[in-house]
Amino acid sequence: MDEKGRSLKNNNNMEDEMDLKRGPWTAEEDFKLMNYIATHGEGRWNSLSRFAGLQRTGKSCRLRWLNYLRPDVRRGNITLEEQLLILELHSRWGNRWSKIAQYLPGRTDNEIKNYWRTRVQKHAKQLKCDVNSQQFKDTMKYLWMPRLVERIQSASASAAAAATTTTTTGSATTSSCITTSNNQFMTYDYNNNNNNMGQQFGVMSNNDYITPENSSVAVSPVSDLTEYYSAPNPNPEYYSGQMGNSYYPDQSLVGPELFPDNYFDYSGLLDEDLTAMQEQSNLNWFENINGPASSSDSLWNIGESDEDFWFLQQQQQLNNNGSF
């Protein structure tokens, strides 16, 4: 059925009587809406629509303004920091998109929702598990998110190295910088629960995290983890950080060997993760896990059958160990 030809169901009788326009907004409509709001402000969307000379529902005007025309709307790719925040906040609140959006200045609930549906759920689908399953949640928490943290820190370190020739070592805290659309600047200190981001956004100082203790997939203490492959970690420092309560294993306890043998979840990573990893020539540890480059080429071009096989392997591994 022609979407635009469909009769409009709307609560507002007055609007039912009008010949309302639907579909994509034109530049002229945008201009009208922006002009009107600049003069009269937001709110009263139904009457705003009429007074602005727009043949649109109030809802449509509101949505267009909030999701697109608002001057502080941030456009463009979701950054690593934003991805991390989305995963983190979603793990706490579920599909509370508007609530999550509050912590990502400039991003709309719609955009976050779209990100989740297109990117995150895609990976769940690839893993052939439900996006709401504990298994997938754990995959995010123990594999995907740590990888994001790693990448954020790596980028941050690169930026710092480019900015100065001096280096900090030893007791330097591990932090990453999150820049927002408003050029707000938040830092996250992975070694300190009372971090700036937690204070500013109130997201990192509660007890809601799925910890290794309450997770359905047990993250074992030392004895188990030391059995896992000991791939050189490009930046093992991040493991020593904690998000909330023991969110990540402490390196002093488990060392860099976070992941079990055969459980490095490349398919749980974003595509750009894989690309970035591939591009880092010093990351031949990946090759070490999976064999020489010649035989690991296929890993970068995972077909469904390969993934199925891989996933079954992981399932088997989990069943055998009951842990990562």
Partner DNA sequence: AAAACCCCCAACCGCCCACCA
Partner DNA sequence: CTGGTGGGCGGTTGGGGGTTT
Binding interface with DNA (CB under 7 A): 1, 3, 6, 8-14, 21-25, 43-48, 56-60, 62-64, 66-68, 75, 95-99, 109-111, 113-115, 117-119, 122
Cα 117 off chain centre by: 11
Smallest distance, DNA to C-beta of residue 176, A: 23
* Residue 104 DSSP label: S
Smallest distance, DNA to C-beta of residue 299, A: 17
Residue 295, phi then psi, degrees to nearest 5: -95, -10
Cβ proximity to DNA: between 43 and 292 the closer is 43
Cβ proximity to DNA: between 92 and 122 the closer is 122
Smallest distance, DNA to C-beta of residue 29, A: 9
Longest Cα pair distance anywhere in the chain, in angstroms?
Answer: 71
Cβ proximity to DNA: between 147 and 225 the closer is 147
Smallest distance, DNA to C-beta of residue 136, A: 16
Smallest distance, DNA to C-beta of residue 234, A: 26
Radius of gyration of the chain (CA): 24
Q: CA-CA distance, 190 to 235, in Å (whole number)? A: 13
Q: CA-CA distance, 115 to 22, in Å (whole number)? A: 24
CB of 46 closer than 8 Å to CB of 18 = no
Smallest distance, DNA to C-beta of residue 255, A: 35
Smallest distance, DNA to C-beta of residue 47, A: 5
Cβ proximity to DNA: between 44 and 128 the closer is 44
User: To which residue do tokens 């791939």 refer?
Assistant: 231
Cβ proximity to DNA: between 254 and 299 the closer is 299
Cβ proximity to DNA: between 102 and 196 the closer is 102
Q: CA-CA distance, 185 to 180, in Å (whole number)? A: 6
* Residue 141 DSSP label: I
Smallest distance, DNA to C-beta of residue 300, A: 13
Cα 30 off chain centre by: 30
CB of 248 closer than 8 Å to CB of 238 = yes
Cβ proximity to DNA: between 27 and 162 the closer is 27
Q: CA-CA distance, 133 to 277, in Å (whole number)? A: 27
User: To which residue do tokens 């492959």 refer?
Assistant: 229
Q: CA-CA distance, 155 to 150, in Å (whole number)? A: 9
What residue spans of 140-284 are helical by DSSP H?
A: 145-163, 196-201, 222-225, 251-254, 271-279
Cβ proximity to DNA: between 185 and 300 the closer is 300
Using alpha carbons only, what angle is made at residue 226 by residues 208 and 288, rounded to the nearest 5 degrees? Answer: 105
